[in-house]
Amino acid sequence: MSSQPRFQDTGKGSFFGDFVYDQVIPRDHFLVALEHLFDWEALTEQLIRLYKGRGLMGRAPYPPVLVFKMLLLSYLFGVSERQMQELAQYHLVVKWFLGLAIHEDAPDHSTLTKFKARLLGNKGEQMLEGIFRGVLQQARAQGLVLGSLQVLDSVHTQADVNLDKDDKRQGKGQPPRDPDARVVDKGERDVVEPDGARVKRRLRYKGYKTHVAVNAQTGIVTSLSATPGNRADNKEAAQVIGRDQEQDLGVVAYGGDKAYDDTDLFARLEALGVNAYFHLRRFRTQKRDPNKEVWLALLAKPEYQAAYEQRYRVEQPFGSLKQKHGLGRCRYLGLARYRIQALLTFLVSNLKRMVKLLTGLTYRPLAKGRRAEKLRPVYASLPWA
């Protein structure tokens, strides 16, 4: 028996594979940059561990990197797995990116379902986190420079649960639809009714929360932690900071809003030799005792003011990820599945950002005028061109 795993033939390298694609695939397409900048094939060894036969026994599976890429693209394009199958079947550049020859059929959407099940049953979250970090390491190796300031924040995702129906379900003695989801109370918000009237309504739902650290200079998410929706930001911050520390990112300071103004968190960062520039609550600077002087001194620091002005950087990816990449609502049920969604969604966010910073190529057309971002890509010209 061969010690090398066997995979289904995708036609890559045939006449209808590389030869034809070389004539028609644009070299400045976002997916072309994504393929050339990162070593996807290196993931084969770890991804094949998800398969029971490891590609050595039974029917030869699709190359696991192909399936992983297909799942990743479903988040990039913000489509369902069924829609992703159709894209992989008919979208030429997508097919090239996946490594499928023009005449080869795309994997069925059920292949993605089985792949997710493998992730859940084989410590796939740790594997995805390793991929998440590995992509960042590859970008840094190519010259991407991270700034020294990190900004902490969190974003909620609504569970696939109707509160009223779920209450009725539990009233009949049935279990909740999503036992891991927790109630999130966002307070009163302005809502536009179907008739155009603007009213205030209490926004309350069950959901989850992703806590992140974003590099202020690049807008890249360096670490994240997915939790039930009621997990306090200051209580989960230590987990996120710890994951940053494991990567040796050269962090000098952390910033964040008032939710991170926590004495234990200040002490933890001081022990690490890292500055804490969280937005201070009033009780620290307005109390009537000498202890407030240390907080007033922190408030007066130019570095504190600079960090305060950079807090918006952490919120920039959130709106786009909710509107374009499905982070606004859970794709699946349960915390374990939500963690997979969070990792893949923020991996997509990072890949878009890294390609732009390395090459200047973007997933969507560049903004113009005052909204245009001024940057100098790491590569003056496309290395593969």
Quick one: 97 and 186 in the same domain? no
Same domain as 192, residue 88? no
Collect all residues with Cβ–Cβ distance below 8 Å to 219 and sequence separation of at least 6. Answer: 313, 316, 317, 353
CATH code of residue 198: 3.30.420.10
Q: Is residue 91 part of a domain?
A: yes
Specify the pTM: 0.92
Q: Are residues 300 and 183 in the same domain?
A: yes
Residue 239 lies in a domain: yes
The domain containing residue 144 runs over which residues? 131-364
CB 48 within 8 A of CB 376: no
358 touches 338 (CB < 8 A): no
Amino acid type, 85: Q
Q: Does residue 38 lie within any of the structural domains?
A: yes
Domain boundary among 122, 146, 168: 122
Picking from 91, 122, 153, the residue at the C-terminal end of a domain is: 122
- pLDDT tens, position by position, 78-137: 999 999 999 999 999 999 999 999 989 999 999 999 999 999 877 788 999 999 999 999
Shared domain check, 301 and 163:
yes
Is there a domain that residue 7 lies in? no
Q: Kindly state whether residues 182 and 327 are assigned to the same domain.
A: yes
Q: Are residues 114 and 198 in the same domain?
A: no
Is 372 within a domain? no
Q: Are residues 148 and 116 in the same domain?
A: no
* In a shared domain, residues 142 and 82: no
Q: What is the pLDDT of residues 234-290, one digit of tens each?
A: 999 999 999 999 999 999 999 999 999 999 999 999 999 999 999 999 888 887 777
Spatial distance between the Cα atoms of 282 and 301, rounded to a whole number of angstroms: 17
Residue 16, both tokens: 């209808």
160 and 44 within one domain: no
Claim to verify: residue 302 and residue 230 sit in the same structural domain: yes
Q: 138 with 118, same domain?
A: no
How far, in Å, CA of 371 to CA of 385, rounded? 29
Which is it for strands 198-215 and 182-192: parallel, antiparallel or unpaired? antiparallel
Decide: 229 and 182 in contact? Cβ < 8 Å: yes
Please give the C-alpha separations between residue 248 and each of 134, 184, 222, 252, 383, in angstroms, as whole numbers.
13, 34, 11, 11, 28
Q: By the 8 A CB rule, do 84 and 94 touch?
A: no
Highest mean pLDDT among 22-26, 299-303, 354-358: 354-358
Q: Which residue has the tokens 């307005």?
A: 286
What pLDDT digit, counting tens, does each position of 131-185 carry? 999 999 999 999 999 999 999 999 999 999 988 898 898 989 999 999 999 988 8
- Note whether residue 371 is domain-resident: no
Q: Is residue 373 part of a domain?
A: no
Do 155 and 265 belong together in one domain?
A: yes
Residue 220 lies in a domain: yes
Question: Total domain count for the chain?
Answer: 2
